Amino acid sequence: MNKWTKLSIEYANQRSYLDDLFQVYPTIPDGIREINEEIWAGVEMAFAKRDNDLLIRELLRLDLFPIKDSYVAYLKRDKTAIERNPRTMNRLCGRLYEMGIDKIYEQCSIPKETNRQIGPMFKDWLKNKSLGIEPVGLDAFLADKRDAVLDGSDKAMMDFARDELNYHHNKGLDFVARFNGKYVIGEAKFLTDFGGHQNAQFADAISTLETPGVKAEKIAILDGVLYIPGNNKMYKAITETYSKYNIMSALVSRNYLYQM
């Protein structure tokens, strides 16, 4: 088994892994989702007048539509469909009137799902100098050969890796750095459960590791349930199928980087 994967498994099972991981992924649910007062005034007016067309149009302007329905996404992308499909409008508005205005507000202000908040957290952790150095923009990153972490969007990192490190893969990157004169690229994921979307996230990280010809060390900075020993697919993958790759927890990544 890869040394760093083994160390990550030991950390997860012998130390205060979740307590420590909270420093990287502080998944505190947000308060209620903020609702634009001007838009909400339009919603209340349309609701009071039972104006189906206006009610749907105003609600579609909010970040979150109050009911889950397979047709809402279509309406968001093609507003002209509202006036062309009165029966669909009647069906949706019937549910809305039944809910009542207070319930509609409650549903529109539900906090963002925790797993949708996780993405930026790893980069925020880096910006707190958790690796001992503060991430820098591209110009500063290229200015010399000292240890450095690149600060940029996933796409900006992917573009740099493509132009400078022969990285030819259609996935953005979460991590680009240089330690001891060697470049390192990788993805960071917090895998909160098994199955479905989480398996796809794991597969994304592996696909980056498997990208050939890259002039850099490739790592997958993964945390979560994959380090729980057992017959689960992820644990078997990191300890058997992909055991040659550098798969590690964010909590041991600093040791890996400084020993390069």
Q: What is the DSSP string of 228-252?
A: S-SS-HHHHIIIIITTTSEEE-HHH
> For residue 1, what pLDDT is reported?
87
> For residue 26, what pLDDT is reported?
87
**SS (HEC) of 2-44:** CHHHHHHHHHHHHCCHHHHHCCCCCCCCCCCCCCCHHHHHHHH
> For residue 228, what pLDDT is reported?
94
> For residue 171, what pLDDT is reported?
83
> For residue 237, what pLDDT is reported?
96
pLDDT-flagged residues of the chain (< 70) = 28-32, 112-117, 119
Residue with tokens 């600093």: 254
Q: How distant, in Å, are the alpha carbons of 89, 97, 250 from that of 23?
A: 46, 44, 10
User: Mind listing the pLDDT tens digit for each residue in 160-194?
Assistant: 999 999 999 988 899 999 999 999 999 999 998 88
> For residue 111, what pLDDT is reported?
76
248's CB contacts (< 8 A; 6+ apart) are 2, 4, 5, 7, 8, 219, 220, 221, 222, 256
Q: How distant, in Å, are the alpha carbons of 11, 190, 229 from that of 122?
A: 19, 9, 24
Cα–Cα distance, 146 to 153 (Å, whole number)? 21
